[in-house]
Each structure stands twice: as C-alpha cells, then as structure tokens.
Amino acid sequence: MKTHYQICSHCVMDTTDPDITFDEQGVCNHCRHVENVIRKSWFPNPEGKRRLDQIVARIIEDGKSGEYDCVIGLSGGVDSSYLAYMLRTEYPQLRILAIHIDGGWNSELAVHNIEHIVKRLSIDLHTEVINWEEMKDLQLAYLKSQLANQDVPQDHAFFATLYKVAVDHFGIRYFLSGGNYATESILPAAWGYNAMDAKQLLAIHKRFGTIRLKTYETVGFFKRKIYYPYIKKFKMIRPLNFWPYDKEEAKRIIVEKLDWRDYGDKHHESIFTKFFQSYWLPEKFGYDKRRAHLSSMIVAGQMTRQEALNVLEKPPYNAGEIESEKEFIAKKLSISVEELNAIMLQPNKTFRDYPSDYALEQRFSRLKQYISKWRQR
C-alpha cells in the first residue's frame, strides 16, 4: 500500500492505482507500457490502412462459405457505432452481423441509437435478451460480493452470446471489436478483474444468488482459451487500432451520418454501467475510471494533460441526480435504497477472495509465451 500521493507527470494516473510505479522522471508504468509495448501494434496512420485492407481481404476470403464474414457488437456507444460506420463505408463488401445484448439496462437513447445505426447502414442485427429474473439475481449477487467490477454479469453475457450465436450458430470466424488503444490503452488491472472468468461468476452466484441460472450462458476456461480460438479458429480483431481513430471526430461523424445522440460520458449507454463507473467505483473504491480514459486520450495525443485535469476537477457523478439514479437501480433490482446503501457500506473485496481461474490463466499464458519463443528459435 502506498502511503504518499503521486500523479504521473505525463498522464493523470495516480496512486489510486495501487500497483502504479513511477520512474525518475515521474512518468508512470502505464505511459511507459504504451510507449514500449502498445505502440508496436498500434497503427493510427497510412500503414494501418494497408494492414487493415489485408486483414479485411483475409476475412472475406475465410468467410466465403458462410452467411456472414464477421460479427460486431453494438452497444450504442461511440466506439462500436463508429466501427460499424467505418466498416460499412470503407469495406462495403464485408458481410457484417451485429450482436446486441439487452441485459435490461439499456437507456432509451441506446435503443434509439442502435435502431438507427442498423437501419442506416443496412446491417443485420441479432438481439439477445437476457432473462431478467436471472440477470437481476446475478447482479444482486455481484453487489453483495463487494467486488470492484460490477459489469461482469453484462460483459460475460455479451461474450457468451457472441460465441453461441456467431461461432456455434453461424460459423463466423472473426469478431471485429470496437475496443481501441486511442481511448483505452490505459486501464489498471487492479481496478477490475476479468469478466470472462466463469468459475468466479458461478462461485459468486452460488454464494449470494437465490435462484437457479437456467438460461444465462457462461463460457468456461477450456471453451474460451482452447475450443474457440484453436479448434473453431475464432479471432478477435480491433480495426480501430489500424485507424487514426479520434473520439471527438468519430462522434461528430456518427451524429451527422447516423443520427446518433450523445449520452454525455463513456459507456453511459447502460444505466447500470453509469451507476457503477461514476458512483460505485469512485465512492467505494476510490477508482475514477475517467482517470484511465483521460490518460489514454493524453497518450493518444487527443487531449492535453491540463484539459484532463480540468475534467477531473468535477466530481464523477452529478450530486443532484445520484439519489434518483440510486432509486431507479434499487427499484429495478427489487431492493430498497436503504439496502443498496447498506451494501455500499460493506467492506470491499478483491477477486482473490473468491474461487477463480486466475492461476490457471497465468499458467496458460506462460505456456503460450514459452511455445511462441520456442517457435521463433
């Protein structure tokens, strides 16, 4: 545990990340990681376009025998909306299936945005609605677990559906993700554990859940790490890392071309995600996700450090709105605001307090590194 406060001299990451380290210039490990590692696979330039052209040609070639070449996720947020637009305009021959998960928390705006996007771009949409009673039970279990990452039930459901629909049903080989270094190159591991760990998800539900999960899909370690990538040869590609992706410019384009409407902040297309990121994390854990997002924008050259510091002057949530948001969340989860407040006051836990596949995952990634080194000999 660090006892003194320090903030990076280049970005705005600080000692609220318990694992942060600084060099003699006061630059943090995240900034150094971006410069030394991430830059090698980040091409926001003409070289990126050349690479993306080749990747897309390969995707189309591999998709010949199926109904679709690739799948994308549509949350209604900027990144995924812009990705859909960019792929449609740059690669009109690409046959895209969009998947959307309705976990019960979509804002009306998100629904509006998704409907407009698929209509304007003529993209087929598969929407999967998660059984609300099961989702609610799982989300309450997560709140009671006192873990930082409360988006696990929604995120896990997205990937489980992606595998089921895209790979098992349509035989699609490529997932084109809106994930990108321009806005997400920095995110401390300590701020949120892997949503894909089905062992942990089921252990938490077993301990705190009250009903059986009959239809909620999970993806276990073997299927996720071996079956889908090696047997089904399913790959994830992040096209926006091969693109001069600028968030503000992207927003301007989707507003103009897709009639997209703004939510205000990142990932606030889901009411629950908004509560979790702007209230649960900063109030309970001291983690302000804006800090990681703004730092990513600084290292991407899309914002100055001073601009980021100005944003952070404001609190992460709107004090005038938080009570009504809490009422909404509590009501939807069938608990009282007092119960929600009582949950907030319980001691925080980390993923190490519950069973997980963390050790297995570490061993597997060391094995993969070993094999790739051995192959390079």
Q: Which residues bind Zn ion (CB under 5 A)?
A: 8, 10-11, 13, 28, 31
Q: Give yes or no for a contact between 269 and 155, defined as CB atoms under 8 angstroms apart.
A: no
Beta strands in 30-189 (DSSP E): 70-73, 96-102, 124-129, 174-176
Give whichever of 263 and 287 is closer to Zn ion, judged by the CB atom: 287
Give whichever of 10 and 290 is closer to Zn ion, judged by the CB atom: 10
Smallest distance, Å, CB 110 to Zn ion? 32
Smallest distance, Å, CB 30 to Zn ion? 5
- Using CA atoms, how far apart are residues 45 and 131, in angstroms rounded to an integer? 43
Smallest distance, Å, CB 5 to Zn ion? 15
Give whichever of 38 and 55 is closer to Zn ion, judged by the CB atom: 38
- Using CA atoms, how far apart are residues 296 and 273, in angstroms rounded to an integer? 20
Smallest distance, Å, CB 24 to Zn ion? 14
Closest CA to 139 of 59, 73, 190, 208: 208
Smallest distance, Å, CB 31 to Zn ion? 3
Smallest distance, Å, CB 16 to Zn ion? 13
**Length of the chain in terms of residues written:** 377
Smallest distance, Å, CB 7 to Zn ion? 9
Torsion sign over Cα 195, 193, 25, 296: positive
Q: Residue 146, by phi and psi: left (phi above 0), alpha (psi -120 to 50) or beta?
A: left
Closest CA to 155 of 103, 118, 120: 103
Give whichever of 201 and 294 is closer to Zn ion, judged by the CB atom: 294
Closest CA to 135 of 375, 358, 334: 334
Give whichever of 13 and 147 is closer to Zn ion, judged by the CB atom: 13
Which amino acid belongs to residue 339? E
Smallest distance, Å, CB 294 to Zn ion? 11
How far is residue 116 from each of residues 23, 82, 97, 271, measured CA to CA in Å? 47, 13, 15, 20
- Using CA atoms, how far apart are residues 145 and 139, in angstroms rounded to an integer? 10
Give whichever of 31 and 166 is closer to Zn ion, judged by the CB atom: 31
Parallel, antiparallel or unpaired: strands 124-129 and 96-102: parallel
Smallest distance, Å, CB 121 to Zn ion? 37
Give whichever of 13 and 198 is closer to Zn ion, judged by the CB atom: 13
Closest CA to 180 of 279, 276, 86: 86
Q: Which residue is nearest to Zn ion (CB)?
A: 8
- Using CA atoms, how far apart are residues 79 and 64, in angstroms rounded to an integer? 27
Give whichever of 31 and 86 is closer to Zn ion, judged by the CB atom: 31
Give whichever of 178 and 188 is closer to Zn ion, judged by the CB atom: 188
- Using CA atoms, how far apart are residues 342 and 109, in angstroms rounded to an integer? 31
